[in-house]
Amino acid sequence: MSTFPGVGDAIPDIAMETPEGGHVKPSDFVGHKLVIFFYPKDDTPGCTTENKDFSALQADFAAAGTKLLGVSKDPAKKHLKFIAKHGLTAPLASDAEEGGLSDALGVWAEKQMYGKTYMGMVRATYLMGADGKIARIWDKVKVAGHAEDVLAAAKAI
């Protein structure tokens, strides 16, 4: 069994594609706190709510010296449509490559629904300190109130 990075560890520095066709990786944010929230799929009810909640609090995160990055396996072009449809302001990235950041953190994992087993994104959030180390992890996230909880934690570090 492999072990994944935990609190106090450096977050793996793996590049992901941005909706605009560029790339972003955790080391791009060193010197700032960073919230990386992993969510299963663009334009599904829980994921839409979570992205809207983080977008609504983006100015508060910025005031706390914290950047945001939402990550799913959806292709970058789908992210563009999702952003436009819902007026999202929290930046998104696509972690579609096998061996990507979600794999390195263990949030791309086996899931079960209606008796079927499949690989999917676990809704999880990582708070990285300005030093690039993981300060807090939320796994198996419930969407309601989550963005507010993460903001409070970001303000506290």
User: What gap in Å lies between CA 63 and CA 31, rounded to an integer?
Assistant: 15
The answer to whether residue 2 scores a pLDDT higher than 80 is no
What local confidence, expressed as pLDDT, does residue 98 receive?
86
- Give the pLDDT confidence of 86-110 residue by residue, as tens digits: 999 999 999 988 899 999 999 999 9
Higher confidence at residue 111 or residue 125? 125
Residue 34 designated active-site: no
Nearest to 92 by CA among 157, 41, 148, 143: 41
User: What gap in Å lies between CA 128 and CA 120, rounded to an integer?
Assistant: 23
* CATH code of domain 29-156: 3.40.30.10
> Which of the residues 47, 101, 127, 135 is marked catalytic?
47
Across residues 29-55, what is the average pLDDT?
97
Structure tokens at 29: 């944010």
User: What gap in Å lies between CA 25 and CA 11, rounded to an integer?
Assistant: 10
Tell me whether strands 108-113 and 116-121 are parallel, antiparallel or unpaired: antiparallel
Domain residue ranges in the chain? 29-156
- Give the pLDDT confidence of 50-91 residue by residue, as tens digits: 999 999 999 999 999 999 999 999 999 999 999 999 999 999
User: Which residues is 69 bridged to in the sheet?
Assistant: 36
CA angle 59, 61, 64 (to 5 degrees): 110
pTM of the model: 0.95
